[in-house]
Each structure stands twice: as structure tokens, then as C-alpha cells.
Amino acid sequence: MSRDRIDAVHLAWLDAMRTNDADALGRLVTEDAVLMPPHEALVVGRSAIIEWFAAVVRQARTADVKVSQREVIVAGNYGIERGSYVWTVSPAGGSPVELRGNFLAIHQQQFDGEWKLTRNIWNSTLPVGAGT
């Protein structure tokens, strides 16, 4: 049951990215969630996360995102999700760019039983200087 709900959050997350919908992304995270994008400062809190993704979209819209080698562990009130991603973005006026790497996401069950994402960290497997 918990696993199903975590999977639903995962799918909704990918959908929010693909539709470039920052508000939808914000609905999936806890109020105090933290994103850890490479080469950037921490993004702390739901509002900051919405602003961060809106800024990403203004810079380069997400054309697609795919996840592979995904694994989920559920232990009590925490769910650990890990995997590899291919994130295709289309910079304004530029050609699409494929970003590749690995991620680790922490889901936490809330008092109302809902699962939300509370930490998300990712890095790049591309060669140095090829982008994140």
C-alpha cells in the first residue's frame, strides 16, 4: 500500500516535470522539503522549490524525463527511492540537451497518511564539463 502511494508520487513527479508545472511539483513535497541540485545552493521549502522549478522552466523547458534502474525501500514512515535518470531539456532557442545521472529521493509519510517527497539529491554521470 505504501509502496503504491510512493509509486504514485513518483509518477506524478515525472508528469509535473514533463508538463513543466512547478505548482504541481510543489504539491508533491513536504513544507520543509530540500532539493540538492548539482552546482547550486540548497533549495529549501515548498515555495522555494516551486520558484526553482519555474526558473528552470524559463531557462529550459523539460521535453522528457525517463527513469531506469529504479528501486524503492519502505521502512516505517520513510520510503527511499533511487535510480538513474535521463532528463531532456530544450533551452530557449537552442537544441535539446540530454542530462544523465543518478538520484536519491526520500519520501516521508505524513500524519494524514499521505506520502510526500522530503529530500531529493541527484548528480551527473556525464563527463566533466558536459553539463548536469
Of the residues 27, 38, 91, 96, which one makes contact with other proteins according to CB under 8 A? 38
Q: How far is CA 34 from the centre of its chain?
A: 11
Q: How far apart are CA 104 and CA 90, in angstroms?
A: 24
User: Any contact of residue 2 with other proteins (CB under 8 A)?
Assistant: no
Here the cell at position 90 is: 530544450
Total of chain residues touching other proteins, rule CB under 8 A = 34
User: Any contact of residue 45 with other proteins (CB under 8 A)?
Assistant: no
CB of 23 to other proteins, least distance (A): 25
Span interacting with other proteins, options 7-15, 53-61, 70-78, 91-99, rule CB under 8 A: 70-78
Of the residues 22, 43, 117, 119, which one makes contact with other proteins according to CB under 8 A? 119
Paired with 91 in beta bridges are 60
**101-to-1, 31, 37 alpha-carbon distances in Å:** 29, 26, 11
**105-to-59, 96, 116, 124 alpha-carbon distances in Å:** 24, 26, 10, 15
CB of 79 to other proteins, least distance (A): 9
Q: Which residues form the interface with other proteins (CB under 8 A)? A: 36-42, 69, 73, 75-78, 80, 82, 84, 101-104, 106, 119, 121-132
